[in-house]
Amino acid sequence: MDFSLPPRAIELRERTQQFIAEQVIPLENDPRQDSHGPHPELRAELIARARAAGLLTPHASRELGGLALTHVEKAVVFEEAGYSWLGPTAMNIHAPDEGNIHLMEEVATPAQKSRWLSPQVQGHTRSCFCMTEPSPGAGADPSMMKTTAVRDGDNYVINGRKWLITGAEGSTYAIIMARMEDGTATMFLSDMDRPEIKLVRNLDAMDRCFSGGHGVVEFHDLRVPATDVLGEIGKGFRYAQVRLAPARLTHCMRWLGQARRAHEVALDYVRKREAFGKPLVEHEGVGFMIADNDMDLMTARLHILHTAWLLDSGERGAFESSRAKVVCSEAEWRVVDRCVQIMGGLGVTGETPVMRIFTDMRAFRIYDGPSEVHRWSMAKKIASGKA
């Protein structure tokens, strides 16, 4: 296993790093954003800047206008993009669009790609992924899904309620997961401007980096033609893994950039701030936390690269992506949590990016499967010898 980066990955890393520093970070305090993410006007400007830099939607195929990044190349590019909370939005690699683009490329028909995917890759539209439901519906246990799809001639009639639907407000289309009459699940595609789809409200959430926030969405007798089924009937859960396995890993990549930035801010602070007659970094308690940060950052990066290498080589990857999700989400969170502690009062204010990164990142240990569910799933596979 060779972890040395190929020349293209190094060149892309440097280009992305320069783009984020010069074109994205200066817009972080732009007023065109609120608790539910960047406004459409700010997103459009960010997208235009990435397009001009040749870095828009780089994970998409060349046929659609992307750079066809390998998973290893994604690892370095997405980390640099994640250095700013606006970076993934600018480059069109934020959740849920990044995962939806991957899924659509793998599963959608040519007509579906032309209608929904192509404009999205070009940065003109956004999408949402409607799977999670409020209790007693599907959450960590997708088998509890209550949203239904019933066949009616050449159509399917969908009814149900979803929540925590990232990016629902402002999305052009949705991928909807619904339970069939036989208990299996199927994915459906629909424009979001249909009168049968209601965005009830946006939830107040800890994070504010996702365009469109996190919505509550209802479907009332939504009729979807059979031509808008995504993939095959009854294979929704299988396709969910097509989407989620790499999406878990790309989350790790983006948040690694944020954790690294918090660490760099904290390190600069403890080098300059003095207490009890010397810089904070020279106090053992602070120095140990800086060292622990370095180890956690490296642990996360190695897990990302290892899993990315497995995905690129076609060797397994599903079990490893679960492991990486747990290891990276917890390691990166520890880094940011320590940074707040290291910086004391300054760390709980908006005077530096650290507080913002702290509140944005906390949910990472929950979405795309909470750590506990991944541990439970991994333990079953380990015990059965299927890991």
Per-residue pLDDT of 237-280, as tens digits, reads: 999 989 988 899 999 999 999 999 999 999 999 999 999 999 99
pLDDT in the model for residue 158: 98
Mean pLDDT over 367-387 rounds to 93
What does CATH list as the number for 237-384?
Answer: 1.20.140.10
Residue 77 has pLDDT above 90, yes or no: yes
Is the preceding peptide bond at 31 cis, omega within 30 degrees of 0?
no
Instruction: Please tell me the pTM assigned to this model.
Output: 0.95
Mean pLDDT over 109-116 rounds to 98
Residue 352 token pair: 């530096």
Residue 355 has pLDDT above 90, yes or no: yes
Mean pLDDT over 103-119 rounds to 98
pLDDT grade for 1, boundaries at 50, 70 and 90: low
Q: Which residues lie closer than 8 Å to 107 by C-beta, 6 or more apart? A: 187, 230, 231, 239, 242
Mean pLDDT over 345-359 rounds to 98
The yes-or-no answer to whether 7-94 and 237-384 have a common fold is no
Three-class secondary structure of residue 162 per DSSP: strand
Enumerate the domain spans of the chain. 7-94, 127-233, 237-384
Q: Token pair 């909807």 is at which residue? A: 176
pLDDT in the model for residue 175: 98
Mean pLDDT over 312-338 rounds to 92
Three-class secondary structure of residue 307 per DSSP: helix
**Residues of the chain above pLDDT 90, percent:** 94
Query: What tens digit of pLDDT does each residue of 2-45 get?
Result: 668 999 999 999 999 999 999 999 999 999 999 999 999 999 99
Q: Token pair 């991957």 is at which residue? A: 102
- What value does the mean pLDDT of the chain take? 96
Would you identify the CATH topology of the domain 7-94?
A: Butyryl-Coa Dehydrogenase, subunit A; domain 1 (1.10.540)
What does CATH list as the number for 127-233?
Answer: 2.40.110.10
Residue 173 has pLDDT above 90, yes or no: yes
